[in-house]
Amino acid sequence: MNLAILISGSGTNLQSIIGEVEAGRLPGVNLAVVVSNRRNAFGLQRAAQHGIPTELHLLKPYREAGRSREAYDADLAALLQRYGVDWVVLAGWMHLLSMAFLEHYPNHVINLHPALPGHFPGTHAIERAFEAFQRGEVAHTGVMVHFVPDEGVDVGPTILQEEVPILPDDTLQTLEARIHGVEHRLLPEAIRRVIVTTQASVASS
């Protein structure tokens, strides 16, 4: 199975996937390409260090040319198709995908979100959970990995989720570190359950 990993930042979750693939714990998974929508994303260097092809797909040229987000997304899908991509994993991809992209990968797009289903959708989820804790509104947050079937924000069917407590002496930084630790474990496990299992089922049928 050829995977595309879409990133926007440092790529720590990408690194966790690379580690699992290289250790043989994601059998049959090939990291076909890593795509970033930000030029300075360190995840591009991580991918290159492991011999994984990288692509930069910037939105700004589309905006400057008066082209739509749908055009951007359609071209992104075409880019991935050139690499023979079967599955798409959003690992810190800070961009909402439209149906112009998703229609090319129905039920084959997976997203990581640092909150539980129905809580803190969208950006800055960890900060918002921490602020809610300080107001006495929540006692925990979490991490989920879910399918992206449509343009809804962090509402697709859940693959895996794990609660993360917020401790009385937590700072935003300690909470972030604990959540990232869960992310690094949960995302490869979701890939293992969904993609590796699917591949095994197809092979045995």
Q: What is the CATH number of domain 2-204?
A: 3.40.50.170
Reported as a pLDDT band with limits 50, 70 and 90, residue 15 is very high
Domain ranges of the chain: 2-204
* pLDDT, position 71: 97
Report the SS3 class of residue 160: strand
Do residues 10 and 41 lie in contact, with contact meaning Cβ atoms separated by under 8 Å?
Answer: yes
* pLDDT, position 121: 92
Tell me the angle at which helices 172-191 and 12-22 cross, rounded to the nearest 10 degrees.
40
The answer to whether residue 169 scores a pLDDT higher than 90 is yes
Neighbouring residues of 50: CB distance < 8 A, sequence distance ≥ 6: 18, 22, 31
Q: What is the mean pLDDT of residues 53-81?
A: 97
Catalytic positions, written as ranges:
113
What whole-number percentage of the chain has pLDDT above 70? 96
C-alpha distances out from residue 35 to 58, 88, 97, 125, 175, Å? 10, 10, 14, 23, 28
C-alpha distances out from residue 63 to 36, 58, 94, Å? 17, 10, 17
Per mean pLDDT, which range of 24-38, 69-83, 145-159, 160-174 is the poorest? 145-159
